[in-house]
């Protein structure tokens, strides 16, 4: 079995009009959401075997902060191919991954991640909000066998779920 975690970057900062889209960092609320979501992952002991991230600053920062919080020490590949690209190209990139990896975090952007989700699963995913994480598993042993509409949703979380109530276990890890 293989699992892909589609992770949309945290909320980006639009305050500096001199920066181009690729250079935008994270907004304060995005950093806060990132602490909450990464604490949830740490508590659930969810770790990837490999991280693929867009090379845009906001995606890199999301990948870095998330993996640091969960204690991930493995490879992170920052790829220009994951920035402003068609979901079919992302699918091709996944199909080329080494089969030793069972769980891959894919950090990227909308609308590409939402479109990719809709390629993978039968359900209709309307939109992946910022820092939402959609875990999709496939009953395959090789990434090259990843196919359209063959994925199954394991879970779908987003920061809004923790807006009014943050479980005690997560609060204690936010520091």
Q: What angle do CA 97, 99, 101 make, to 5 degrees?
A: 80
Mean pLDDT of the chain: 92
Q: What is the pLDDT of residue 25?
A: 87
Residue 171 has a pLDDT of 65
Dihedral of CA 76/82/83/87: which sign?
negative
Beta strand extents in 29-72 (DSSP E only): 50-54
CA distance 6 to 93: 14
pLDDT in tens, the chain (175 residues): 999 999 999 999 878 777 787 888 899 999 999 999 999 999 899 999 999 999 999 999 999 999 999 999 999 999 999 998 999 999 999 999 999 999 999 999 999 999 999 999 999 999 999 999 999 999 999 999 999 999 999 999 999 887 766 667 666 666 5
Neighbours of 98 (CB within 10 A): 9
For the chain, the domains span 2-174
CA angle 138, 152, 123 (to 5 degrees): 140
pLDDT at position 162: 77
The CATH class of 2-174 is alpha beta
């Amino acid at each position: 079995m293989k699992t892909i975690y589609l992770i949309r970057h945290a909320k980006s900062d639009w305050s500096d009009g001199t920066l181009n889209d690729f250079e935008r960092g994270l907004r304060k609320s995005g950093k806060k959401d990132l602490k909450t979501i990464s604490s949830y992952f740490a508590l659930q002991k969810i770790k990837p075997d490999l991280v693929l991230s867009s090379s845009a600053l906001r995606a890199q920062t999301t990948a870095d902060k998330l993996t640091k919080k969960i204690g991930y020490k493995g490879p992170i590949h920052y790829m220009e191919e994951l920035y402003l690209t068609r979901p079919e190209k992302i699918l091709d990139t996944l199909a080329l991954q080494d089969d030793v990896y069972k769980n891959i975090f894919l950090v990227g952007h909308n609308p590409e991640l939402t479109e990719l989700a809709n390629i993978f699963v039968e359900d209709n995913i309307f939109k992946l909000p910022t820092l939402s994480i959609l875990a999709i598993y496939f009953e395959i042993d090789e990434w090259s066998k990843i196919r359209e509409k063959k994925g199954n949703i394991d879970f779908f979380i987003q920061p809004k779920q923790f807006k009014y109530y943050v479980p005690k276990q997560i609060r204690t890890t936010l520091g």
